[in-house]
Structure 1
Amino acid sequence: MPLPATRTVTGTYLNPATGAAATGSIVLTPVPAVWTDSADNTILAGGTTLTLAAGAFSQALVTTDAAGVEPATGRLWRIEERLTGLPYRTRHFALPLGPGTPIDIADIVAADPGAVGYTPVEGPAGPTGPTGATGPAGPQPPLGGQGAGDTVALRSTDILLAAKDADEQVTNSTTLQDDDHLALPVAANAVYALDAYLDVEADPAADITLGWSAPAGASLSWTETGISAGNTGNIGSLKQSRLDLATSSGVGIVAAGSAVRPAGVLRMSGTAGTLRLRWAQTVATGTATTLRAGSWVRLMRIS
């Protein structure tokens, strides 16, 4: 069955540096995708794909002003250029019947990427590039709200733990010194529950004195939870004084070694910083007081 009025469109693609003929294909598609030839009661649908021969193509197409074809206005042709080694691109053009002679694609489509009718088309995906550098950590999410029974929903970042990876000794000194390992970063305006497990060996005559340092403005209510100084066995009086940040306290250590379990609540001011355990001998002796590897301090943020 004959088509409505047609006109031949041609095109030639050459390498601008070498003059070599381009390879690839040309896809021609009507816009909209389906036209109606009411004169011959025919539906016109689909386009064609042409393989370039010596860099050229030639194809007769129904003109966009052919009489009796619907839609009566707004019909166009779309050309998609799939040239080997180059990004694909799509452009649109009207094809009037005019004198009916062949017309070159270069005379009827926009060559300027900024002009109407020029539409870039994404080509095939290239190889995956190298992984970029890790970005900065995002902001910490807000602390979870209180639930039934005044429980607090915790984030993974709300529990902080520092542990000793080596023994540490103090000999013949009652001056509090910073522990080498048991220190934790604390946030401004936060409230933390504090607990610790301290594995201590010492001359029973020396025992151990504990204290803490924290950023300016912080307050600490804590207790030492250890046997009273001077005890010779781990069964005896238990010290659980309520102390503040400025107050240190001594507890007893027996010859076989003792566990000390400090606990408390740290309330921060507007200054962030570090909470650190400090300790010394209660009575200076030439036998070392040892805080053993594996001892730990833990903070759990509760507000």
Structure 2
Amino acid sequence: MSNTPISEIPAIRDTLRASFRKGLTRPLEWRKHQLLQLARMLQENVDVFAEALHKDLGKPKFEAYAYEIGVMIERSVDSAKRVDEWAKPVVVDAQYVLCSRSVRIRVSLFEGTGNGLCSPRSTRHLSGTVLIIAPWNYPLALTLQPLIGAIAAGCCAVIKPSEIASHFAAALAEMLAKYLDSNAYRVVLGAVPETTKLLELQWDHIFYTGNLGGKSPVLVDPSFDVTIAAKRILGAKMQNGGQLCVSPDYVIVPRTHQDALVSALKNTYAEFYPQGSLVSDSISRIVSPDHHSRLMDLLNRSKSEVVDVQPEDSLMEG
């Protein structure tokens, strides 16, 4: 599927803004229907999305369903059930009456709250048309999670999936148009030029996920079962091929227990991947040659020994 023509992007945004101003997304029943349609889209096209995730990330179908597809089906349905609750006016303490773009306060001087003065209530109103810019590492989950929120809140949305996960992006563009109201929800395909054009336009909110840095240490208590620790560490590390912002990237353990933990990790690796992870069909792959080269550069610049890594080493870069 080809990129969205840049010249069409402003018209897409304008169409959605017009739909919002006409009140298309206001009825709660309409929002519930869109959320259930999103769940239906995933349920009826599990193989389509699983195959797309496999093409992009080598993601096994079990992992694709367990961490992305199944989770989003559940959250879509759950959100549909809770829209009424979320939309209800909320009684607030008269001492803490606040106003903002997303909350309106209605005060009656004749309704008592125990002090005989007033009964303020906050009523949530619709924000408008939003832009969702999604990452590539969990393409489905991190694209649809903010979309679920936007639908539940009565917003129109343009979704810009990552061009790095191009197979998923194309599948989403095709399927979303079949299941959701295209007057309220549209997918824009493309890379930097298309994203730049989107960001030149005015939006009521922009939801962006990505570029999280920092380190994710694992601290192992010497009293903890070393075999269980090894399984949990390696299981978390190998999820999505390690392409997760909170994936464990170094372990802190007393030297007296270091050898035991290393041995347990080796045994666990052999148990998880008896033929080796490079040929296993139970692990995701690095998403692109560029990302693989970046990781290999960190490894090649490392001056540390296996197991013992110094704080200033290239592998400790955030």
TM bucket normalised to smaller: under 0.3
Scaled by the length of structure 1, the TM-score of the pair is 0.20
Scaled by the length of structure 2, the TM-score of the pair is 0.19
Larger Rg: 1 or 2? 1
Higher helix content, 1 or 2: 2
Higher strand content, 1 or 2: 1
